[in-house]
Amino acid sequence: MRIVLAKPGLDGHDRGVKVVAMALRDAGAEVIYLGLRQSANQIAVAARAEDADVIGISVLSGAHLALSRQVREAQEAAGVADIPLVVGGTIPPQDVAPLTGLGAAAVFPVGTPIADVVKGVLALGGGHR
Amino acid sequence: MTTTDSGIPVEPLYEPPDGPDPALGRPGEPPFTRGPYASMYRERLWTMRQYAGFGAAADTNARYRYLLSQGQTALSVAFDLPTQLGYDSSHELAASEVGRVGVAIDTADDMAAVFDGLPLEDLSVNFTINATAPIMLAFYLVAAERQGADLTRLAGTLQNDILKEFLARKLYVFPPQPSLRLAGDVVQFCAQELPRFNPISVTGYHAREAGCDAVQELGLTMASAIAYAEHFTARGLAFDSFAPRLSFHFSSQMDLFEEVAKVRAARRLWHRIATERFGATNPNSGRLRFFSGCSGATLTAAQPLNNVIRSTLQCLAAVLGGAQSIHVMGFDEALEIPTEESVRLALRTQQIIGYESGVTRTVDPLAGSYFVESLTDSLEARAAELVAQIDAAGGYVHLLEQGAPQRWIAESAYRAEQAVQSGERVKVGVNQFTGDDDAPPPRLFEVDETAGQRQRDRLARHLATRDEPAAQRALAALGKVATTDENTMPALLAAARAGGTVGEISGVLRAEFGEYREPAPW
């Protein structure tokens, strides 16, 4: 199971994504963390190159809707739209449905237990390819 | 006469019968354990400084007028991410971020609009800005010039702590060495021109928020202050010329007594470093003053009203520790940018502690508590040991460049999260007492989606109407200065006056200094 994690957009809050990365690693997944300020295109291309089973992005600036849409579009363009996208961060409850509407397979707002994040991500990994 | 509520007189200071313990000293006297000033809150309460900024300049100006009308005593500017990273609002990467986590500032005109009608000579203003701090300072000084302000009367703080961006906050642009040079340019310029302005705020807050513990926060902050002092003295500044204007910024989290002990230990430790390591002779050089930020990382999205109580305890810890200024979080910050109501409640939290609780009646009220003094000693000793380890490993900047302290923080954050998950650490409403939460969800801040477009239009008008050759000349002159060892501040001021934008000015510096990329975390 290979997971590409990244922070799109400009915010630097990487505590959450690193905790998730370590938890996934401890659960046996292979985690490729791309780091901060990744463009949607960089994320999609990396996911293709790494043959990722899941893409995870973390946004704490409030720009999650626009950035998730960009990543989904970049996935289409890179031919990897079938890789499930999961989104975490400071996401108010009313934005969860719009995120799934634009193609996020799962949304983990701040406060989601890490065990649930891990379980949710691992469950998605099985369906790809 | 000051008394308790039942009429018992309260002295400004309580001490052992045979005089002060030398390890503590008197408040306002070395080693400053008990506070930087003799009379502390008996004379004047701390500065209540709520961090705020969003949308375009006019939106933020309205929020500042509101906060000042509610009794806030100073301002603290939050900038949006493009501004903090040196991109104009029209830049491709800025698209969905303009005006979102702070105010969008592209030009000196925008800065002037933020403070429209607010007399800068009479206001203390804090700027949370780092990679682009010299540019924002230049914009601010141009705004002040246009108000006809006397620059020597300007008070406030520029965060300008670039090292902690590499460590924890992550809004760096240039590599560490040119970044340090820019920070030093600001410090040198302020030492000469802005005697009431703090040109740097050495910050442990973000490392703590990113996951380290109180000992690490204290040790890393001191290591970083040492790194700055070494860098500034190496470029020829006398320690005593800048040290009195260094300010510090700590976090205030949930462990009440440890938080109080931490800042008491910080004052004693910094005094020792200033005198023993840097040979300070100016008594103000070792007088640590700090801004306390209550903690966003401790707040929960579940049962958000509980966060009011968390913030109250954190604010109380900052007050008992003797903070010079305090920010209290909005209870809704785990969900969105705080609303006007939640910001007002945060300010009221400070006012209730300041005006109703009575804890301000005497200086350093916890001094002499066996527990608090023992904790103060332990925190100081452990932090000093961490500083010694960092020295032995080649110094703070070297370790940062290798990514070592970044890894300590990430590992510490993971352990803290595991402790919450396992239930070893109780989080009310999260892993215990979760019950049915009947409270209606809070009304959240609604982002004005038009702000980005308004700001881009404003920038386009600016570019169309400025004196283009003058702007280009000023930018070219800045580029020349950047290649030398000269201080960049005069050229930055000239570029700001000529209508240069944050993106253009940063572009000139990027071309000369390059951009930093973080080493892989594992």
Q: Which amino acid is at B100?
A: R
Give percent of chain B with pLDDT exceeding 70: 98
pLDDT at residue B445, rounded to an integer: 78
Domain of residue B101, residue span: 40-422
Give the CA distances from residue B211 to residues A10, B59, B141, B293, B413, in Å, rounded to whole numbers and listed in that order.
20, 33, 36, 15, 4
With beta carbons less than 8 A apart as the criterion, state whether B360 and B23 touch.
no
- Encode pLDDT of B24-69 as tens digits: 999 999 999 999 999 999 999 999 988 899 999 999 999 999 989 9
**Cβ contacts (< 8 Å) between A9 and chain B: which residues?**
81, 96-97
Scanning B81-132, the segments in alpha helix (DSSP H) are: 81-85, 108-114
Task: Determine, yes or no, domain membership for B250.
Answer: yes
**Residue A35 and residue A8: Cα distance in Å, rounded?**
9
> Could you tell me if A66 lies within 8 Å of chain B, comparing CB atoms?
yes
pLDDT at residue B456, rounded to an integer: 97
**Residue B427 and residue B326: Cα distance in Å, rounded?**
24
- Encode pLDDT of B450-462 as tens digits: 999 999 999 999 9
**Residue A86 and residue A108: Cα distance in Å, rounded?**
8
**Cβ contacts (< 8 Å) between B210 and chain A: which residues?**
14-15
**Cβ contacts (< 8 Å) between B334 and chain A: which residues?**
90, 110-111
Looking at the predicted structure, is the pLDDT value of residue A13 above 60? Answer: yes
Q: Where residue A31 sits, what CATH number does that domain have?
A: 3.40.50.280
Q: Do A37 and B171 touch (CB under 8 A)?
A: no
Q: Do A9 and B97 touch (CB under 8 A)?
A: yes
Q: What is the mean pLDDT of residues B212-236?
A: 97
Q: What is the 3-state secondary structure (H, E, C) of chain A?
A: CEEEEECECCCCCCHHHHHHHHHHHHCCCEEEECCCCECHHHHHHHHHHCCCCEEEEEECCCCHHHHHHHHHHHHHHHCCCCCCEEEEECCCHHHHHHHHHCCEEEEEECCCCHHHHHHHHHHHHCCCC
Residue of B nearest to A17 (CA): B410
| Residue of A4, A5, A7, A10 best to disrupt the B interface, most CBs of B under 10 A | A10
Who wins on pLDDT, B246 or B435?
B246
Q: Which helix (H) or strand (E) holds B43?
A: helix B40-43
**Cβ contacts (< 8 Å) between B517 and chain A: which residues?**
35
Query: Which SS3 state, helix, strand or coil, does residue B104 take?
Result: coil
User: Residue A111: which of B82, B93, B430 has the nearest Cβ?
Assistant: B430
Nearest to B226 by CA among B206, B250, B202: B202
The residue whose two tokens read 């969900």 is B335
Domain total for chain A? Answer: 1
pLDDT at residue B163, rounded to an integer: 97
All residues at 6 or more sequence positions from B8 whose CB lies less than 8 Å from its CB, including other chains: none
- Encode pLDDT of A36-79 as tens digits: 999 999 999 999 999 999 999 999 988 999 999 999 999 999 99
* Cβ-based interface (< 8 Å): residues of B facing A: 81-82, 84-85, 87, 93-97, 100-101, 165, 169-171, 209-211, 297, 300-302, 334-337, 410-411, 413-414, 417-418, 421, 430, 441, 444, 447, 517-518, 520-522
**Residue B484 and residue A1: Cα distance in Å, rounded?**
51
Task: Determine, yes or no, domain membership for B378.
Answer: yes
> Could you tell me if A36 lies within 8 Å of chain B, comparing CB atoms?
yes
How many residues in chain B?
Answer: 522
Q: How far is B85 from chain A (nearest CA, A)?
A: 8
Instruction: Indicate the pLDDT class of residue A127, thresholds 50, 70 and 90.
Output: low
Residue of B nearest to A19 (CA): B414
Cβ neighbours, 10 Å, residue B341: 14
> Could you tell me if A41 lies within 8 Å of chain B, comparing CB atoms?
no
Domain total for chain B? Answer: 1
The residue whose two tokens read 């960092």 is B390
Picking from A114-128, B30-44, B108-122, B259-273, which range would have the lowest pLDDT averaged per residue? A114-128
pLDDT at residue A95, rounded to an integer: 94
User: Residue A92: which of B82, B430, B444 has the nearest Cβ?
Assistant: B444
pLDDT at residue B521, rounded to an integer: 67
Looking at the predicted structure, is the pLDDT value of residue B366 above 60? Answer: yes
Sort residue B435 into left (φ over 0), alpha (ψ -120 to 50) or beta. Answer: left
Q: Which amino acid is at B303?
A: Q
The residue whose two tokens read 């702007």 is B471
Task: Determine, yes or no, domain membership for B51.
Answer: yes
What ipTM does the predicted assembly reach? 0.87
Domain of residue A19, residue span: 2-125
Q: What's the token pair of residue B14?
A: 């309580």
pTM, rounded to two decimals? 0.93
**Residue A8 and residue A43: Cα distance in Å, rounded?**
8
- Encode pLDDT of B63-101 as tens digits: 999 989 988 888 999 999 999 999 999 998 898 899 998
CB-count burial class (<10 Å; 0-12, 13-18, 19+) for B484: exposed
Q: Where residue B297 sits, what CATH number does that domain have?
A: 3.20.20.240
All residues at 6 or more sequence positions from A58 whose CB lies less than 8 Å from its CB, including other chains: A5, A6, A7, A13, A14, A16, A17, A20, A87, A88, A89
